[in-house]
Amino acid sequence: AQTVTQSQPEMSVQEAETVTLSCTYDTSENNYYLFWYKQPPSRQMILVIRQEAYKQQNATENRFSVNFQKAAKSFSLKISDSQLGDTAMYFCAFTLTWDNFNKFYFGSGTKLNVKP
């Protein structure tokens, strides 16, 4: 079975500070892709960052970076210089490389509040 766990239901951070959202997952597969999506109050799910499991180098996307620890099955998201627009629900997810249907396995989400 494939599972994703986000242990922090809600977090707060001051504007301009750095925050890390945690995510652990469980799969017996070796080849997969990991994603972080954000869902602001506007409701649209927006891709934040993507990581290939076969790559050791951590993905970065501007102020967003991940700490991918494959052995520990951990995929945390670090947001630097937090902005008010980062306030959103953040979902961690993964897909299996061999999955012909590109099915996403989502975590339960972390609500991030960025305070001015």
Partner 1 sequence: DTEVTQTPKHLVMGMTNKKSLKCEQHMGHRAMYWYKQKAKKPPELMFVYSYEKLSINESVPSRFSPECPNSSLLNLHLHALQPEDSALYLCASSQDLGQGHQPQHFGDGTRLSIL
Give the interface with partner 1 as residue ranges (CB under 8 A): 32-33, 35, 37, 42-47, 50, 52, 89, 91, 93, 95-104, 106-109, 111
Q: Which is nearer to partner 1, 56 or 116 (CB)?
A: 56
Residue 69 near residue 79, CB atoms below 8 Å: no
| Cα dist from 108 to 8, 31, 62, 102, whole Å | 9, 22, 25, 19
CB of 102 to partner 1, least distance (A): 5
Q: Which is nearer to partner 1, 17 or 62 (CB)?
A: 62
Residue 1 near residue 100, CB atoms below 8 Å: no
